[in-house]
Amino acid sequence: MRKMMIILAFICLLVWAGPLAAKDIYVTGITKITMRTGPGVEHKIVAMLTSGSKLETIEYQKDWSHVKTQDNKSGWVLSRFLTEAVPQTLLVKQLQKENGRLVSVLEEAVEKKRVLAEKNDLLVDIEEKYKKLEQASADFLKLNASYKELARKSQDQKDHILTLEKNMNNEEKLWFLSGAGVFIVGLIIGLSTRKKKRSSLL
């Protein structure tokens, strides 16, 4: 009785171990194989599987295996047509897809680099213009300061010239008045001298 219990437990373990250990397998290099409702050629065909089709094992046996397709169809196929190795055709497709993705990423990176290069050139140009403007502003400030200094000196010279002219006019007037005074004094002296001479002659 105990042996029977052990055997039954072992059989149950085998039955339930299949679904628990589900893994991906693939149809091998045969062009097409049949998937049937049961483990044998007498069972009805439910689908035709092409080489490279990805399947999930429900129960793996020596001759027939219970599998499920990616669109959730289940059935039985001959185990000798299954393999765990990824078919070369799928690997090529995966690599081509990855290569396409990498090419797209590379193209995007090249475009971003081109845009960044244009922006960098624009920034360099703006920086050069800013430096020139800054230099021109500095030169303008220097020139403006020089102009103000020259204008101040020019005004000082004008004021000095006006002062000199005013002084010269005053001196000319003084000399004129002095000369006129000397002339009048001389005239008075001369006239008085003539009167004295006439008085003495009389």
Considering only CA atoms, which of 123, 122, 43 is closest in space to residue 77?
A: 43
Task: Domain 7-86: state its class.
Answer: mainly beta
Predicted model pTM: 0.36
Three-state DSSP class for residue 77 = strand
Along the 202 residues of the chain, how does pLDDT read in single tens digits?
555 555 545 454 444 444 445 677 765 555 688 899 999 889 999 988 887 788 888 988 888 999 999 888 999 999 888 887 776 666 677 778 888 888 889 888 888 988 898 888 888 888 888 888 888 888 888 888 888 888 888 888 888 888 877 777 766 666 766 666 677 777 777 777 766 665 555 5
Distance CA 83, CA 27 (A): 6
**86-116 per-residue burial string, b: 16 or more CB within 10 A, e: under 16:** ebeeeeeeeeeeeeeeeeeeeeeeeeeeeee
